[in-house]
């Protein structure tokens, strides 16, 4: 996946699960990470980790994205360009395909 594709899909997940204000914050953070050279085009997936950490550390949502199977821990981005439940080692959704929060 290209950097631009990762950004588009990641921001789609942020908007679907957290809303428009979180998208603005995540987008600004992603642009800053790129300007600072903290993410590279050939490893754009690192951006997912950086944005997730930012969302956790700034208390926007400390369990983002929340695991729909358990609800009390975040999903983690990993193999197959997807979000995974680490507790059960289950693929939950492809990047950009998280379901809307039911809360």
pTM score: 0.90
Number of domains in the chain: 1
Domain that holds residue 71: 3-94
Within a domain: 99 = no
Question: Which residues does residue 74 pair with via DSSP β-bridges, in sequence order?
Answer: 66
In order along its 103 residues, the chain shows pLDDT tens digits of: 888 899 999 999 999 999 999 999 999 999 898 888 887 777 777 899 999 999 999 999 999 999 999 988 999 998 899 999 999 999 999 999 998 875 5
What region does 100 belong to: left with phi over 0, alpha with psi -120 to 50, or beta? beta
Do the beta carbons of residue 29 and residue 47 sit within 8 Å? no
pLDDT of residue 24: 95
For residue 60, what are its two tokens?
Answer: 């926007």
pLDDT of residue 102: 54
pLDDT of residue 34: 86
Q: How many CB atoms lie within 10 A of CB 75?
A: 26
Question: Which residues does residue 93 pair with via DSSP β-bridges, in sequence order?
Answer: 83
Angle at 35 between CA 57 and CA 1, to 5 degrees: 85
pLDDT of residue 38: 81
pLDDT of residue 1: 81
Within a domain: 100 = no
């Amino acid at each position: 996946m290209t950097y631009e594709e990762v950004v588009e899909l990641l921001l789609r997940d942020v908007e679907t699960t957290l809303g428009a204000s979180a998208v603005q914050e995540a987008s600004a953070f992603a642009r800053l990470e790129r300007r600072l050279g903290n993410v590279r085009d050939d490893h754009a997936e690192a951006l997912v980790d950086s944005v997730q950490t930012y969302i956790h550390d700034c208390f926007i949502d400390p369990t983002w994205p929340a695991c729909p199977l358990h609800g009390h821990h975040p999903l983690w981005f990993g193999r197959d360009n997807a979000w995974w439940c680490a507790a059960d080692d289950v693929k939950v959704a492809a990047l950009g395909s998280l379901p809307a929060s039911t809360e």
